[in-house]
Amino acid sequence: MDNIQFKDLEIDGKILHAIEDMGFSETTPIQSRAIPVILSGADIIGQAQTGTGKTAAFGIPIMQMVDAEVKKPQVIILSPTRELVIQIANELHKICKYQHNIKVLPIYGGQDIMKQILPMKKGVQIIVGTPGRIMDHLRRKTFTCDHITKVILDEADEMLNMGFREDIETILEYLPEKRQTILFSATMPRPILEITKKYQNDAVKIKIQGKELTVENIEQYYYNVGKTSKVEILSRLLDYYKPNLSLIFCNTKRMVDELAVELKGRGYFADGLHGDMKQSQRDQVMRGFRTGSTSILIATDVAARGIDVSDIEAVFNFDLPQDDEYYVHRIGRTGRAGKNGRSFTFVRGKEMYRLRDIEKYCHVKITQKQIPSASDVTNSRVESVLNELPILIEKENLAPMEKFIEEKMASSDLTALQIAAAFLKREIGATLKDIPDVAFSKVPSHIDKNDMERLFINVGKKQNIKPGDIVGAIAGEANIPGSAIGSIDMTDKFTFIEIPKAYTEQVLLAMSTAKIKGKSVHIEVSNNKRKKNGKRSR
């Protein structure tokens, strides 16, 4: 019964019209199984991940069953985070696009509760909220539960992991005993089963197997990292594949913070997301990721439950997931909406046994890949630049530029090939033969990375220079390992970079005649007397 047409189910015409507007005609496995059961009025236990279409699996039938004429709450949907609440509410708004009398209200902490009370007084049929904020409203009696006929627990396992069990049970006790209880969870630990036994009646169980969860258009690879630094390998892969948006998973909040600091120090536009952050911080991080100002998001499994960004090109399992099902949940963040995606998993030592368990669970072969060499990275840069040229030639008027080239060739001994090679060198910052193998270079044992010197360089973002260009130039020209270079603070007009003091004279001497992307630079030891606007004190 999987992957049937929506029109073959007993779905209202207005809802079908809305689904077609969303670009869907065929159901996913969880939808084809859950929708008929929910329409029948039976309780349901659904085991499925985010990204399998489960929001529509419960959203479509509840939209059909709600009474639009009754301006009272009839459905409560509980979800663990603000991000997921908003995501679910947005999906429901799309489903009820042509049912103008049905109102959906998202409620969550961090928003003024009075802004939520006013819409309730005007009348809503469906409330989507976090357990804590639902409890606040129940205590204040801002809405009554008399007309509640359905309650949906979405991401139930994560709500329990976040400590919401008591709130969930209190809310269920508040609600009318005669109701339909729908539960979705990625995993089924004992506390979930205890809740289902206590609060559901003859629930129908639906489980989507691993093979149904694995997305076919995701290339899945793993790297046996051995004793090599995972951060070094991650940096190499980011440079080689150049994904516009990347999602990196860590198992702990501490690792998220540490990796974010490390990648920022290496010049990447990265940020972290986890449950200990304030809501305002999380909103700011997600805003940056959605707009592309942050290209790398590092998150824990719980925090990532609310991420709904369709253009993620690569997922990195920096830490091997602790649960087989989490692997599927993680990689499902890429390859969405028919697009291709990649997932990369780092495995060390005995973790290979865990990876084999994941393969068995998902019914998939995860291919081992070799770590790209420095030459591979350079080749990738060159290929990327050369692939852009036909588009540039087609769209731009290059006649004036051609004239400049012809004049230069006529007034010198330079050939067109030499000029093109020089421009390519400046664009990528290094040639194929002299790019340093910095990602795996080790800092000599006699160098103390804790004793750092801050250097000032008179170029910044407005010169179209990126942190990686500066790292590559210093590492290559001064012949020092890239791993020795510390944090980079880049502004529009200048840059501060930290290096071990033992390398200071070596770097100053090497960079005195060097260029970065074809631009002459001035580099000196920062005297810490510079004003914030970048002007040096006299």
Instruction: Return the CATH number at 296.
Output: 3.40.50.300
How many domains would you assign to the chain?
A: 4
Pair (349, 462) in one structural domain: no
Q: Are residues 126 and 272 in the same domain?
A: no
Burial of 195-228, coded b for 16+ CB within 10 Å and e otherwise, reads: bbeebbeebbebebebebbbbeebbbebbbbeeb
Picking from 165, 190, 208, the residue at the C-terminal end of a domain is 208
Residue 535 lies in a domain: no
Q: Do 264 and 364 share a domain, yes or no? A: yes
| Distance (Å) of CA 476 to CA 80, 438, 461, 513, 514 | 48, 8, 21, 13, 10
The verdict on residue 536 lying in a domain is no
Shared domain for 443 and 415, answered yes or no, is: no
Q: Is residue 344 part of a domain?
A: yes
Domain co-membership, 178 together with 231: no
Kindly state whether residue 473 falls inside one of the protein's structural domains. yes
Q: What are the φ and ψ backbone dihedral angles of 395, each rounded to 5 degrees?
A: -90, -25
- Grouping H, G, I as helix, E, B as strand and the rest as coil, residue 513 is coil
Is the domain of 153 the same as that of 175? yes
Looking at the fold, whether 286 and 363 belong to one and the same domain comes out as yes
Q: Has residue 534 been placed in a domain? A: no
Q: Which domain holds residue 473?
A: 438-525
* CA dihedral for 81, 85, 86, 91, sign (positive or negative): positive
d(CA 222, CA 173): 47
Asked whether residue 1 is domain-assigned, the answer is no
Query: Does 433 reside within a domain?
Result: no
503 lies in the same domain as 444: yes
Same domain assignment for residues 345 and 418 = no
Sign of CA dihedral 495, 498, 503, 504: positive
CATH code (residue 511): 3.30.70.330
Q: Of 147, 179, 208, which closes a domain? A: 208
pTM, rounded to two decimals = 0.54
Same domain flag for 19 and 166: yes
Q: Are residues 57 and 96 in the same domain?
A: yes
pLDDT tens-digit profile, the chain (538 residues): 455 888 888 899 999 999 988 878 788 888 999 999 999 999 999 987 666 788 999 999 999 999 999 999 999 999 988 888 998 999 999 999 999 899 999 999 888 888 899 999 899 999 999 999 999 999 999 998 999 999 999 989 888 888 899 999 999 999 999 999 999 988 888 899 999 999 999 999 998 765 455 566 889 999 988 766 788 889 889 988 989 999 999 988 889 999 998 888 888 899 999 878 887 888 888 888 988 889 999 998 877 766 778 789 999 999 998 777 788 888 888 887 667 899 999 998 888 888 988 888 778 889 999 888 777 777 777 887 888 888 888 888 888 888 888 888 888 888 888 888 888 877 766 444 444 444 455 566 667 767 888 999 999 888 888 887 788 788 777 777 776 788 888 888 889 898 888 888 888 888 887 888 778 889 998 865 343 344 443 3
Q: Is residue 531 part of a domain?
A: no
Same domain, 348 and 221: yes
Last residue of a domain, one of 154, 188, 208: 208
Helix H or strand E encompassing 108: none
